[in-house]
Structure 1
Amino acid sequence: MNAPANVPTFTLERQRQVVAALRPLLPEGAVLFNEEDTRPYECDGLAAYRQLPMVVVLPQNEQQVIAVLKTCRDLQAPIVPRGAGTGLSGGAMPIADGVVLSTARLNKILQVDAYSRTAIVQPGVRNLAISDAAAPLNLYYAPDPSSQIACTIGGNVAENSGGVHCLKYGLTVHNVLRVRMVTIEGEVVELGSGALDAAGLDLLALFIGSEGMLGVVTEVTVKLVPKPQVARVIMASFDDVVKGGDAVANVIAAGIIPAGLEMMDKTSSRMVEPFVKAGYDIDAEAILLCESDGLPEEVEDEIARMSEVLKSSGATAIAVSQNDLERLRFWSGRKNAFPAAGRISPDYYCMDGTIPRKRLAEVLVRITEMEQKYGLRCANVFHAGDGNLHPLILFDANMPGEFERAEAFGADILELCVEVGGTITGEHGVGIEKINSMCVQFTAAELDCFRGVKRAFDTAFLLNPDKAIPTLHRCAEFGRMHVKNGQMKFADLPRF
């Protein structure tokens, strides 16, 4: 656990030194160091982990970003890039004795091109603002995280964000053509290109999802897609979560790729329905939302095919949206699942793991068993089509030991994901939240390769250090504390 949020872990002398070096580089008011100004930056959306920043900087253009990075490199001051702070893995939590570099003021949409179907934007542009700007051209930006009204494209690039429509349209990595970024040395590098391919190694795919550890984004070229003529959603109810999980696999097995395929269990639908009045069956054990979009004829055919698959999979009720207003109402419950958790619990801990679709039913049963083990409730919402789980573990931080149990519960879910052939994250990233779970999924040799990539971009390990990639010593310590199935990973590494 990190130091208490109200206890600074930096010296005033060091703070004064860094502030004095940065102030001449930035406009008035763009270097924050008083506690009342820096406190809002102490965490991202994972508020359980906090660290008061030593300094926060708000550059307004690329040249200022370059100057900040060069100065911090010379001062050996760690830097944490930050977007809107909506991340859920602690990736934007400050580093003690370090600088938070916010890209919030780099917020211009530089170009929207109907002919190439692209937009060029700065990292502080909100996800939804891209679609708003492209709407007059009948285009939009496809990745749609639940936080899209607030999250920024720079943060989406850092975490490789997805959303409810990622099954058909892909994650951020599938919708970005080019990234312009600045290294810790202050060098501007362009990855990818405006074309469909670029010469050399695919460093663009490497950079997307690197959680601010390789460079700071200053410009992004994204793909835009045409708005579909028609979109309709099936809402299917099931009297058993296993049937609902199997239905997901059956839809994909039938050769259907819906625009969106989401699942919510009874706990989720019951906490959401009073909040948004989406029309959910609160007596159903599971609800599936299956969207089809495209030309009217293909949507009609796909809705009919999906309905047949869902009925044969055991659906007890099926409703199909008749207009766009009803479609958005069906989706509103899924989009608001996280904030709705506050109606039934003082706190929640949102996990993020990915599993093979065919194991979905099995994993749901195992999570139910874990609820009994840890004495905590769990509301399950999923990007079911691609196997991306978002269990919401409900707890009360005011009750001694409950947060620690929630953490253990979450770690157990992630280990289960690895056990069934999945991974510990789908779109939220590793940050600090899942850093021990990296020791479960990867070998010492694999982690050493990850560090080699980091070293190639950031020799001094100043960009978002101590995030995402654990040290081998950390894994050895974790292994000694945590024996799984009688085996202890990294046990051969020396203790220190």
Structure 2
Amino acid sequence: MGNATLRSALAAAVGESNVISDPVGLRSYECDGLTGFRVVPDLVVLPVDTAGVAAAVRACHEHGVPFVARGAGTGLSGGALPVADGVVISLQRLRDVVEIDPIDRRATLQPGVTNLDITKAAAPHGLYFAPDPSSQQVCTIGGNVAENSGGAHCLKYGFTTNHVLSMTIVLPDGEVVTLGGDTNEQLGPDLRGVFIGSEGTLGIVCEVTVRLLPVPETVRTLLADFDSVREAGEVVSDIVAAGIVPAAVEMMDNLAIQAAERAVNAGYTLSTAAALVVELDGPAGECAAQFEQVRQICERHNCTRLHIAGNTAERARIWKGRKAAFAAMGRISPDYFVQDGVVPRTRLAEVLGRIEDMGRAEGLRVANVFHAGDGNLHPLVLYNAEEGEQDRAEELSKRIAELCVELGGSLSGEHGIGTDKACSMPRMFGTDDLTTMDRVRSAFDPRRLCNPGKLLPTPRLCGEAPGPYRPHPLEQAGVIERL
């Protein structure tokens, strides 16, 4: 089947102007936020509505061509990596806030609406959308559904799956169906729950109805410094042991603080070993009493500096430092891998010590930023590709993810498995588990055209050397060029 045949079918489906086939335009879609993995697709289509998405999927299905849905491209696991000779279906033009229902506290959205724009649309009604990934200014609700994204406030409020009521999706053969309903409880199998977090392997979400929450009466935020990560970790354990459920508990080590301060000057202490951001929200009386308990716990564990946000602007400044941490790594390292894993809170100090030892053995620095309240780590492996460090950094990143499983945790908390960690899935799941997952996937997509090569290990994927592009010796010698 030639490219021209499929291109004609897609142009008929979405319009000639909504099909990209020139090499320069295609390169814009060759990777997501995990830039070490790159594949140039054969074609990119940009539908403007659900009907266009369905028509594009049907064209791919009829021609037997694999396709990958793509939102803002902010994913960090290679989940939106294109397939060679395949099609990327971009959802960036589906950006409408269809409805805000303040009575039932719901919002209906197209998949290209950014996470933060949901809250902006709901704010005039005293409502907001609770899941808040650090990339919330640019990541989209369609991608949040695909990855079951969380964010800093997932400790108290849960992940995307806890806030999605229903979805209109396009199945891998082009059929349009609705999963879920007006409440989280529906008769029959929970297909809504199956789809959320399936990383684009079961279909494409084209409309989402989410629940909204009332803005809390009170929000209190503090920033606490400690001479060691261990002491900061003990504070987290003691807060939870006291029966307090903060809206968020975030931790950053010194490397992460150094990067964030250089980028946004948020007022963090450059010399401290670790910093905790603790936020409580709720009724004023309860919040005040629990906040005082948290302050005392911090002081009991030798807090060296405790800054309490006195107003909304100070609170925003503290969070600006935390949420800038990933992007700010470029201030202290030319290249880095962002990892994502989960360990029990009681093993935070142990895993951080092990990560430090592993990095030292490889001669690489590892910065740590994480949702300490639920043990969701985000180690950032820093390296310099020009000095030949990328292979060691990639291997270290993989070993850190698998260490989380070894210590009783999981490979991912919110970034997904994607391409990056598919080959590590057998470290966490047995053969029967993986076979069952594969059967579920086959029930939705028997032809394996929808985002193939992601999430589950395959002989082809795991038999190849994954990761950053490695030039052929003839290319290095100047005999051939990479197209």
What TM-score, normalized by structure 2, do the two folds share?
A: 0.94
Q: What SS class does the counterpart of residue 80 from structure 1 fall into?
A: strand
Q: Deviations over 1:474-494 (max 9, x none)?
A: 66999xxxxxxxxxxxxxxxx
- Residue type of the alignment partner of 1:52: V
Q: What SS class does the counterpart of residue 299 from structure 1 fall into?
A: helix
Listed as ranges, the gaps of 5+ residues in structure 1 are 1-12, 479-496
Give the drift of 1:297: 1.6
Q: Deviations over 1:429-449 (max 9, x none)?
A: 011011121122111211111
Alignment partner of 2:436 out of 449, 453, 458: 449
CA separation of 1:216/1:425 partners in 2, compared to 1, >3 Å: closer, same or farther? same
CA RMSD of aligned residues (A): 1.4
Assess if the C-alpha contact under 8 Å between 2:453 and 2:461 holds in 1: no
Give the drift of 1:412: 1.1
CA separation of 1:277/1:473 partners in 2, compared to 1, >3 Å: closer, same or farther? closer
Whole-Å Cα distance in 2 between the matches of residues 241 and 155 of structure 1?
Answer: 32
Assess if the C-alpha contact under 8 Å between 1:231 and 1:324 holds in 2: no
Corresponding residue number in structure 1 for 2:411: 424
Q: Does 1:275 align with 2:263?
A: yes
Corresponding residue number in structure 2 for 1:127: 115
Q: Which has the higher contact order (CA 8 A, sep 6+)?
A: 2
Whole-Å Cα distance in 2 between the matches of residues 383 and 437 of structure 1?
Answer: 22
Corresponding residue number in structure 1 for 2:457: 470
Assess if the C-alpha contact under 8 Å between 2:251 and 2:372 holds in 1: yes
CA separation of 1:30/1:474 partners in 2, compared to 1, >3 Å: closer, same or farther? closer
- Residue type of the alignment partner of 1:84: A
Q: Does 1:83 align with 2:71?
A: yes
Q: Does 1:67 align with 2:74?
A: no
Give the drift of 1:287: 0.5
Whole-Å Cα distance in 1 between the matches of residues 26 and 105 of structure 2?
Answer: 39
Deviates more, 1:138-147 or 1:304-313: 304-313
Whole-Å Cα distance in 2 between the matches of residues 166 and 79 of structure 1?
Answer: 31
Deviates more, 1:439-448 or 1:142-151: 439-448
Q: What SS class does the counterpart of residue 398 from structure 1 fall into?
A: helix
Show the 5 A alignment for 1:366-405.
Answer: 366-400=354-388, 402-405=389-392
- Residue type of the alignment partner of 1:414: A
Give the drift of 1:417: 0.1
- Residue type of the alignment partner of 2:226: F
Corresponding residue number in structure 2 for 1:10: none
Corresponding residue number in structure 1 for 2:447: 460
Listed as ranges, the gaps of 5+ residues in structure 2 are 466-483
Whole-Å Cα distance in 2 between the matches of residues 310 and 325 of structure 1?
Answer: 23
Q: What SS class does the counterpart of residue 307 from structure 2 fall into?
A: strand
Assess if the C-alpha contact under 8 Å between 1:250 and 1:313 holds in 2: no
Corresponding residue number in structure 2 for 1:188: 176
CA separation of 1:99/1:477 partners in 2, compared to 1, >3 Å: closer, same or farther? closer
Alignment partner of 1:363 out of 351, 358, 371: 351
Corresponding residue number in structure 2 for 1:300: 288
Corresponding residue number in structure 2 for 1:9: none
Whole-Å Cα distance in 2 between the matches of residues 427 and 340 of structure 1?
Answer: 20
Alignment partner of 1:409 out of 393, 396, 414: 396
Whole-Å Cα distance in 2 between the matches of residues 307 and 200 of structure 1?
Answer: 47
What TM-score, normalized by structure 1, do the two folds share?
A: 0.92
- Residue type of the alignment partner of 1:181: I
Q: Deviations over 1:291-311 (max 9, x none)?
A: 011222222112101112222
Whole-Å Cα distance in 1 between the matches of residues 373 and 194 of structure 2?
Answer: 24
Corresponding residue number in structure 2 for 1:3: none
Corresponding residue number in structure 1 for 2:20: 32
Show the 5 A alignment for 1:159-308.
Answer: 159-308=147-296
CA separation of 1:87/1:474 partners in 2, compared to 1, >3 Å: closer, same or farther? closer
Assess if the C-alpha contact under 8 Å between 1:251 and 1:310 holds in 2: no
- Residue type of the alignment partner of 1:313: H
Whole-Å Cα distance in 2 between the matches of residues 274 and 350 of structure 1?
Answer: 19
Q: Deviations over 1:265-303 (max 9, x none)?
A: 011111211321211122211111000112222221121
Corresponding residue number in structure 2 for 1:99: 87
Assess if the C-alpha contact under 8 Å between 2:337 and 2:382 holds in 1: yes
How high is the sequence identity, in percent, across the aligned residues? 49
Assess if the C-alpha contact under 8 Å between 1:439 and 1:475 holds in 2: no
Assess if the C-alpha contact under 8 Å between 1:52 and 1:94 holds in 2: yes
Q: What SS class does the counterpart of residue 50 from structure 1 fall into?
A: coil
Corresponding residue number in structure 1 for 2:146: 158
Corresponding residue number in structure 2 for 1:57: 45
Runs of 4+ in 1 over 3 A off after TM superposition: 472-478
